Amino acid sequence: MEKIDLSQLDYDEIKDISKKQMEDVFDKKQAARPILNEINERGDKALIKYTKKFDGVELESDNIKVSDKRIKNSYENLSEREIQALEQARDNIIDYHETQLPKKIELDEFEEGITLGSLFNPLEKIGAYVPGGKASYPSSALMTLLPAYVAGVNEKIICTPPSKDGRINDMTLAAADIAGADKVFRVGGVQAIGAMAYGTKTIDKVQKIVGPGNSYVTAAKMLVRGKVEIEFPAGPSELVILADSSCDPGYVASDLLAQAEHGPDSLVILLTTSSEVLDSVKEEIKERTNSLNRSEIIKNSLKRAKLVLGEQEELINLLNDVAPEHLELMIQNPMSILNEIKNAGAIFVGNFSPTAVGDYATGCNHVLPTGGMAKIHSGLNVYDFMKRSSLQFLSKKGLRNLREITEIISEIEGLEAHSNSIKERFKEE
């Protein structure tokens, strides 16, 4: 943990910290490209080859897809309360995302005879990448598939890597089923992205690939863009907390530790106006770290942590420059500064809104832009799985009102037949 007094430090030294987190992804493109090419050319055969190479699992072409029976069986290894928690999380995710759903058809009459609007349709087929291997990420299955479900996407598939014994974790399988996955495939890594982008005999080509993965997976997603769409490239997880003397340093410390346990490359930053808070948080973190299961990961992550002291205004500027994935506001009257927040994936307001509750339970999405991408991108949402057609419906009177503008600009652009297509409608006049 580096303690920084902003008044004694070059602001620029810290503002690009999140952007640097993405460099690792750019480095992986070289390694990902030949694997993608081989999947494109050899399909399932290449999938099987790379699953053996990277996951140590021998697949056959008829067991790349997880069987319906296996998915059904997965529930047997979950407790009743685990199943209920996943189902409640699902319901909350659906409730929240339904507020984002546009009306299928929107039409307004702008002037007499000029009715304009939108037609919204879902994408047809999407694929979600869910990390796997030793760990289990049922929440990723929920967060990626359910916005697509709310949008009305017809076919939703999941690719997730098997563990060494060739199995997919029961929790992940049950969550995939609870989230409404149509098919689950036992493949991960670059090869899974290639399969969903190009299609193989077993895995259909999808229109959009979403979901978190390691830097190889993300590099692969970036490379297949154009063939398919992706939501955004995401790197290691990040949390910035803005806290003043009104905060509880124990809450701040526990949230920073939760963030740090994601992985050794997680980024945690405390911005505070109070040197007492800074010192207490530092103390609390030190006291708690060793007793945690993932203390080694946490210690590695904390090496790059920043605890920054400054004036509130400059701290707000700094957080906007960092554009963190997660932002917690533990200050007095946090609502009063929302208008000053320009860039953040998800904003957690007040002392009782820890990031963890948003990761799993509120219903908001946890697939969020990292690496400064919150300056440009939104977190995963229903619009990611829909597209909008404009609707333009004019009467003869409406067209007459727009006749002159259209003809003049057609002439400016030298497009005579454009102008004629308007004149044609009035040739008897």
Residues 318-377 that bind its own copies (CB under 8 A): 327, 334-335, 338-339, 341-365, 369, 374-377
The DSSP symbol for 316 reads H
Q: Scanning residues 294 to 313, which ones bind its own copies (CB under 8 A)?
A: 294, 298
Smallest distance from the beta carbon of 219 to its own copies, in angstroms? 10
Q: Is 191 annotated as a binding residue?
A: yes
CA-closest candidate to residue 215, choices 190, 187, 186: 190
Binders of its own copies in range 40-99 (CB under 8 A):
81-82, 85-86, 88-89, 92, 95-96, 99
CB of 48 to its own copies, least distance (A): 28
As beta bridge partners, residue 11 has: none
Range 150-179, binding its own copies (CB under 8 A): 171
Catalytic residue among 325, 328, 366, 377: 325
Residue number with CB closer to its own copies (61 or 378):
378
- The Cα 281–Cα 380 span in angstroms is 32
- Check the annotation: does 326 bind a ligand: yes
381 among annotated binding-site residues: no
- What phi and psi values does residue 4 have, to the nearest 5 degrees? -125, 130
Using the structure block, give the residue that is written with the tokens 């009467």: 395
Amino acid letter, 271: L
For this structure, is 326 an active site residue? yes
Residue 292 makes contact with its own copies by CB under 8 A: yes
Query: How far apart are CB 405 and its own copies at their closest, in Å?
Result: 4
Q: Which of 236, 376, 233 is nearest to 305 (CA)?
A: 236
Report whether 136 contacts 359 (CB < 8 A): no
Q: Which is nearer to its own copies, 48 or 247 (CB)?
A: 247
Minimum separation from the CB atom of position 66 to its own copies (A):
19
Residue 142: closest CA among 193, 178, 99, 189 = 178
Q: Which residue has the tokens 């069986």?
A: 73
Q: Applying CB under 8 A, does 398 fall inside the site for its own copies?
A: yes
DSSP annotation string for 167-228: PPPHHHHHHHHHTT-SEEES--HHHHHHHHHH--SSS---SEEE----HHHHHHHHHHBTTB
Q: Looking at residues 210 to 249 of the shown chain, list those that interact with its own copies (rule: CB under 8 A).
A: 222, 225-226, 229, 233
Which are the catalytic amino acids? Answer: 325-326
Binding site feature residues for Zn(2+):
259, 262, 359, 418
